[in-house]
Structure 1
Amino acid sequence: MKNLFSIALLFTALMSSAQEKKEVLKSQIVEVSCGECNFGLKGKSCDLAVRIDGKAYFVDGTRIDDHGDSHAKDGFCETIRKAEVTGEIIDNRFKVTSFTLLPEKK
């Protein structure tokens, strides 16, 4: 019985340490732009990023050119836009489950 309890305790400890660090977020309005061009993130090319509470995260689940030409006058490499997003931060990246780009204010 002691061995079974020890195995269960070890299994629980291993599962706890193997889980990814994540922070679940509810739907919210965030800044969105090119991480390299406008948010100062290091990368190899233009990639979509969100800024939440002053911190920028690269986005997984949608790409920069899924929302128009990123190098157009109103594109993500040229301007910072707003979007309503839902997702979670996992390993310092924003895993998006919904992304709605909001109209530009004129």
Structure 2
Amino acid sequence: MKKFLFVLMLGFSMIAFGQKLENKVVEVGCGMCQYDLKTDKGCHMAINYGGKIYHVEGIDKKVFGDAHASDGYCMMKKQARVSGQIKGSKFHATRFAYLEKPVK
């Protein structure tokens, strides 16, 4: 019974407080253009973590570069090293840096 309560409390804390990502390499791209998110009303950076897509919040859009340039995040998926916290459908980033090679 104690193990069950521990697992239940651990699961609740993950939902209530979100999941922290520290120095993780993830796939990134435009939620609308690259991940076909129909709820988007424009281009918005998103990450793919664990097979789920999360909007990126908390980072100035200038960090992402020109979305519609030939190598922009609307044109191709890339990899980035990120830190932050997943809360609901959003990733609240504290760190975001592209890696050199794009995702094929």
TM-score, normalised by the number of residues in structure 1: 0.74
Distance 1:56 1:63 in 2: 19
Distance 1:21 1:32 in 2: 23
5+ residue gaps, structure 1: 1-15
TM-score, normalised by the number of residues in structure 2: 0.75
CA drift at 1:35: 0.4
**1:23 partner letter:** Q
The structure 1 segments of at least 4 consecutive aligned residues displaced by more than 4 Å after TM superposition are none
Q: 1:80 to 1:69 in 2, by over 3 A?
A: same
Q: What is the aligned-residue identity percentage?
A: 35
Q: 1:82 to 1:50 in 2, by over 3 A?
A: same
More helix by share: 1
Question: Who is 2:73 aligned against?
Answer: 76
Q: 1:64 to 1:34 in 2, by over 3 A?
A: farther
Q: Secondary structure at 2:33's aligned position in 1?
A: helix
Question: Who is 1:37 aligned against?
Answer: 33
5+ residue gaps, structure 2: 1-11
Q: Give the count of matched residue pairs.
A: 88
**2:63 partner letter:** D
Q: 1:49 to 1:59 in 2, by over 3 A?
A: same
Q: Secondary structure at 2:93's aligned position in 1?
A: strand
